[in-house]
Amino acid sequence: MNAILPVAVEGLAVHLGGSRILDDVALSVSSGESVAFLGANGSGKSTLVRAILGIVPASAGSVELFGESVAARRSVPWSRIGYVPQRVTASSGVPATALEVVRSGLLGRGRLWADVGPRAKRKALAALSAVGLEDRARDHVQVFSGGQAQRVLIARALVREPDLLFLDEPLAGIDRDSRRALASILSELRERGTTLVTVLHEMGELEPIVERAVVLEGGRVVHDGAPPPPPPGHDHPEHDHVHPHDSADWQAHHAPTLRMDPS
Ligand SMILES: Nc1ncnc2c1ncn2[C@@H]1O[C@H](COP(=O)(O)OP(=O)(O)OP(=O)(O)O)[C@@H](O)[C@H]1O
């Protein structure tokens, strides 16, 4: 019997603004895999993630998430899926605390069991703790640094306890400690069996957790397999010697359990 794949894409084409952005993309992601989408600027990585999630329409081909067609949105088990979009501000000018932003991750269409009240708050605080921001829960995200805002968005995805997590350029514009902290979080998620799909320019600090690379060029898949070696003279000495769990200070006292269910 075939196991249900978290992601199955066949013959996918996407046209936007009159241009062909993706062409004949086929790939699948198995349960527990950690896959990176790599490629130059404009090669179509973000569009691929957005098409997989049904945010942009396919002009040909099919996408299934956990065996359900994304075109039939209601059948997809969205509660099992988390998405951290390419860096955006955590709110759009509306004052919101970190706790509120993370709690918003528990809302959603079709979540009849949507968490409300103290239980939701406990879960949101646990997710903030997992990204090292529990003590900033009541601060407005507008005052957060780029790296901290990024962590809030990651907490908003984690609070759903996703089985499948998409992250678009999570390393962009954040400092080395935050990058290492993120590597630690993702490494722990991997150990728990979460399926990870990460859009990256280069693997950097996430190299240890990427087991497979899908490389895009001009909207087509040109490689799907072992991650390419780092470019010459770019041997990332800092993570040759530092295990992600040993890095950033806040990890030491937050070394958190990523279990969000307080019960
Ligand atoms: N809504 C849109 N309308 C028209 N063209 C678009 C749209 N969205 C993306 N594109 C184009 O599609 C191409 C691929 O964009 P995409 O953001 O997927 O690339 P990417 O590989 O993620 O790039 P980057 O690494 O710079 O984020 C680009 O040429 C972009 O300009």
Edge-to-edge strands of the sheet including 34-39?
A: 81-84, 164-168, 195-199, 34-39, 212-217, 220-225
Out of 45, 47, 203, give the residue to mutate to test ligand 1, the one with the largest number of ligand atoms within 8 Å of its CB. Answer: 47
Who has greater pLDDT, 242 or 176?
176
Q: Closest residue (by CA) to atom 1 of ligand 1?
A: 16
- The string of pLDDT tens digits covering residues 70-86 is 998 888 998 899 998 87
Q: What's the gap in Å between 155 CA and the centre of ligand 1? A: 26
Report whether 177 contacts 247 (CB < 8 A). Answer: yes
Out of 38, 46, 87, 220, give the residue to mutate to test ligand 1, the one with the largest number of ligand atoms within 8 Å of its CB. Answer: 46
Containing domain of residue 34, as a range?
7-254
Which CATH number goes with the domain that contains 122? 3.40.50.300
Alpha-carbon Rg for the chain in angstroms = 18
- The string of pLDDT tens digits covering residues 113-162 is 455 677 888 889 999 988 889 899 999 988 888 788 888 988 998 888 89
Tell me the C-alpha distance between 21 and 51, whole Å.
11
- pLDDT of 260 higher than 60: no
In a domain, 24, yes or no: yes
Tell me the C-alpha distance between 13 and 160, whole Å.
30
In a domain, 259, yes or no: no
How does strand 164-168 pair with strand 195-199? Answer: parallel
| Closest ligand 1 atom to 37 CA | 21
The ipTM of this complex is 0.94
Q: What's the gap in Å between 216 CA and the centre of ligand 1? A: 12
92: pLDDT confidence band, cut at 50, 70 and 90?
low
Q: Closest residue (by CA) to atom 31 of ligand 1?
A: 42
96: pLDDT confidence band, cut at 50, 70 and 90?
confident
- The string of pLDDT tens digits covering residues 170-193 is 888 777 887 888 888 899 899 999
254: pLDDT confidence band, cut at 50, 70 and 90?
very low
Q: What's the gap in Å between 215 CA and the centre of ligand 1? A: 15
In a domain, 260, yes or no: no
Residues whose beta carbon lies within 6 Å of some atom of ligand 1: 16-17, 19, 21, 39, 41-47
In a domain, 2, yes or no: no
- The dihedrals phi and psi of 103, each to the nearest 5 degrees, come to -60, -30
How many domains would you assign to the chain?
1
Question: Residues near 243 by Cβ (< 8 Å), separated by ≥ 6?
Answer: none
In a domain, 240, yes or no: yes
In a domain, 1, yes or no: no
Q: Closest residue (by CA) to atom 28 of ligand 1?
A: 42
pLDDT given for residue 2 in this prediction: 64
In a domain, 261, yes or no: no
In a domain, 219, yes or no: yes
Lowest pLDDT segment from 27-41, 82-96, 160-174: 82-96
Tell me the C-alpha distance between 168 and 200, whole Å.
7
Q: Closest residue (by CA) to atom 16 of ligand 1?
A: 44
pLDDT given for residue 263 in this prediction: 36
Out of 12, 20, 23, 45, give the residue to mutate to test ligand 1, the one with the largest number of ligand atoms within 8 Å of its CB. Answer: 45
- pLDDT of 95 higher than 60: yes
